Amino acid sequence: MDVTVTHIHIRPDHIADFMESIRVNHEQSILEPGNLRFDILQSVDDPTRFVTYMAYRDEASTNAHRKTAHYLAWRDKVASWEVEPRVGVRYDGLFPAVPDADK
């Protein structure tokens, strides 16, 4: 499993805009082949800070996601709303194990 955890810091005046745009991206992303999970989290202590948890079956599926029209549109739309560049960290997902595609 290929997992990316991304930290995003949004300008206070764009929180609602960001939440709507990431909702649209989320709804399209979870329909992609290879997508296992796509969670959006907002900090309780600082509502300008968000985390995405994105799990795909493999690196190829993650790379395909990053080429989709909905992701590219979202990325370009939110760039000017960010306080600083978002930071994504890749992980190998260990558990739960990815179900076999044959089952």
Per-residue pLDDT reduced to its tens digit, 37-94: 999 999 999 999 999 999 999 999 999 999 999 999 999 999 999 999 999 999 999 9
Domain count of the chain? Answer: 1
Here the CATH number for the domain that contains residue 39 is 3.30.70.100
In sequence order, the 6+-apart residues with CB closer than 8 A to the CB of 1 are 36, 55, 56, 57, 58, 92, 93, 94, 97, 98
Residue range of the domain that includes 29: 2-82
Residue 29 lies in a domain: yes
CA distance 48 to 10: 5
Q: What is the pLDDT confidence band of residue 98, given thresholds at 50, 70 and 90?
A: confident
Per-residue pLDDT reduced to its tens digit, 8-44: 999 999 999 999 999 999 999 999 999 999 999 999 9
Residue 75 lies in a domain: yes
The answer, as to whether pTM is greater than 0.75, is yes
- CA-based nearest residue to 28, from 64, 57, 1: 64
Residue 63 lies in a domain: yes
Residue 93 lies in a domain: no
